[in-house]
Chains A and B, each alone.
Chain A
Amino acid sequence: MAQLASPKDSRVNPHGRVHRAAAAAAGLRTLRIYRFDPESPESPRLDTFELDAKSCPMVLDALILVKATLDSTLTFRRSCREGICGSCAMNINGLNRLACTTAMADLKGEIRIYPLPHMPVIKDLVTDLTQFYAQYASVEPWLKTRTPTPPDRERLQSKEDQERIDRPAACILCACCSTGCPSYWWNSERFLGPAALLAAYRWIVDTRDEDTGERLDQLEDSFRLYRCHTIMNCTDVCPKDLNPAKAIAEVKKMLASRRY
């Protein structure tokens, strides 16, 4: 059956370490951050950090400040700090978002930061995305053709054709959508999840691709595709404003139209 409670060792101790600010300041903010150390026998805990965040426009800036000044063991992924690499995806105040594009000013009161939900945690805010990437690889996200490439030019595409893949191709694989989807939580081993399905859709509607039927065959499965129950958390949380739910619905329509 579905596991409704976390295993005992995974239950979060809400009373972790507290790092109080030395003095009251106008920009004082409180961050409550999930901590887990695989090398410690301790259960995960929520640490509290008070910091003067006036020099931190974004949540990622605050995390970097915490790591630099309060606790150097805090572990999180980050790279581009401008919403294009997808590394700093985490659960902030209950929503999956990128720490680098989430403004501190938009979050009221205490800020609760957890790793992406329902993923194995490696350390603190870093989750194991191996399966997520394998799901992406399974949709074979590259151009497949039988017609040889024209010798004198690239494969042509109309402006309208390009517009169909413009948005889906903007996915940065941050995993906010898949890890925000309850269907993915319950069946992540068999449901491909919104990110991989959006990638599949991006190649299905690419007019240069000649493998559409085979791609649809690979998705026609009651778990791989049809675990999507149109909950739409994916679309709700996507930091790039993409619409995986619509892409999945389009794939379902294509499968129905080739059958009936």
Chain B
Amino acid sequence: MSWRSALGRVEGYGASKEGVGHWWTQRLTSVALIVLGCWFLVALLALPGLDYATVAAWVRGGWTAPILILFVGVAAWHSQLGVRVVIEDYVHDVGTRTLALALACFAHVLLAALGAFAVLRVAFGSAA
């Protein structure tokens, strides 16, 4: 039971002056994902086949690998921003929320690193 006034509770610690960056980045990454996603689909459909050798040859050629790494990075970034919102929405215990936000952040960085590594491995690895 607290005697703090209703207005005092609503004011809390004040405004964090944060949120607009997250909101803007979420929109920016979603627009980038539309472009990159379309490029990825069109490029794959334009290939003569979808077997490993054909796709690996495509990854090795031209600008494919850097753009693929960009795609993986932006997708992980966008996903991290979205998962953060879901955690903030539903996890109310401060300790659990902080832990969940940190784990989500680490998991997305790991996913992005693994994705980039996979692309590089195909691009520079052996044919098999």
Residues in A lying within 8 Å of B, measured CB to CB: 1-2, 130-131, 133-135, 137-138, 183, 186-187, 189-190, 192, 217-227, 229, 252, 255-256, 259-260
Contacts and interface: CB of A to CB of B under 8 A. Distances in A.
B7 interface: yes
Chain B interface residue bracket vs A: 20 to 34
Interface of B: 5-7, 9-12, 15-24, 85, 88-93, 96
A135 B10 contact: yes
Nearest to B22: A222
A225 B91 CA distance: 18
Q: Which of A130, A187, A190, A222 has the most CB of B within 10 A?
A: A222
A225 B96 CA distance: 23
Given A134-B7, A217-B17, A222 B88 contact: yes
B20 A223 contact: no
B89 A187 contact: yes
Contacts of A226: 19, 22-23
B81 to A, nearest CB: 11
A256 B24 contact: yes
B89 A186 contact: yes
Nearest to A129: B6
Contacts of B16: 220-223
A135 B91 CA distance: 22
